[in-house]
C-alpha cells in the first residue's frame, strides 16, 4: 500500500492563516526571482551591448582600410573609365585617402 504525503492527504484542511502565509511566501519567491532575472537581464544586455560596440569598432576599422577600393567601385559604377584612366584614377584616390589620414592624424 502506498503512503500518501501529508500535504496531499484528502482529510487535511488548511487554515486560512496558513494559506495566506503560503500565498505571501510564493509571492515573495516570485518577486525575488523576477528581480534576479531583471539583474541577469541587465548584465546580459550590457554584455551584448559591449560585444556590439566592439564589433562596430572593427567594422569601422575594416571599412576605413577599404575606403580607396570601395570608392573606386563606386566611381567605376558611375563613371566609365578607360583602360588608360584606371591606374591614374586609382592612384589619385589612394593619394587622396592617404592625405586625408595624415591630416586626421595631426589634428
Q: Is residue 53 part of a domain?
A: yes
Window from 3-12, 32-41, 44-53, 90-99 with minimum mean pLDDT: 3-12
Residue whose grid cell is 509571492: 27
Would residue 54 count as lying in a domain? yes
Angle subtended at Cα 15 by Cα 14 and Cα 17, rounded to the nearest 5 degrees: 130
Task: Give how many domains the chain has, as a whole number.
Answer: 2
Contacts 24+ apart (CB under 8 A), 49-58: none
pLDDT digits (tens, 9 = 90+) for 34-88: 787 788 888 888 888 888 877 777 777 777 778 888 888 888 888 888 899 999 9
More confident residue, 48 or 14: 48
Structural domain boundaries, residue 95? 66-107
CA distance to 23, 30, 98, per residue, from 40 (Å): 26, 15, 46
The answer to whether residues 106 and 76 belong to one domain is: yes
Predicted TM-score (pTM) of the model is 0.42
| 83 and 54 inside one domain | no
Amino acid at each position: 500500500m502506498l503512503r500518501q504525503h501529508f500535504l496531499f492527504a484528502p482529510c487535511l484542511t488548511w487554515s486560512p492563516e496558513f494559506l495566506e502565509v503560503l500565498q505571501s511566501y510564493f509571492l515573495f519567491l516570485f518577486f525575488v526571482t523576477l528581480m534576479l532575472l531583471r539583474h541577469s537581464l541587465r548584465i546580459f544586455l550590457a554584455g551584448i551591448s559591449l560585444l556590439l560596440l566592439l564589433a562596430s569598432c572593427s567594422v569601422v576599422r575594416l571599412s576605413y582600410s577599404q575606403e580607396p577600393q570601395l570608392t573606386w567601385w563606386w566611381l567605376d559604377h558611375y563613371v566609365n573609365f578607360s583602360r588608360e584612366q584606371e591606374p591614374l584614377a586609382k592612384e589619385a584616390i589612394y593619394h587622396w585617402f592617404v592625405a586625408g589620414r595624415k591630416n586626421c592624424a595631426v589634428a
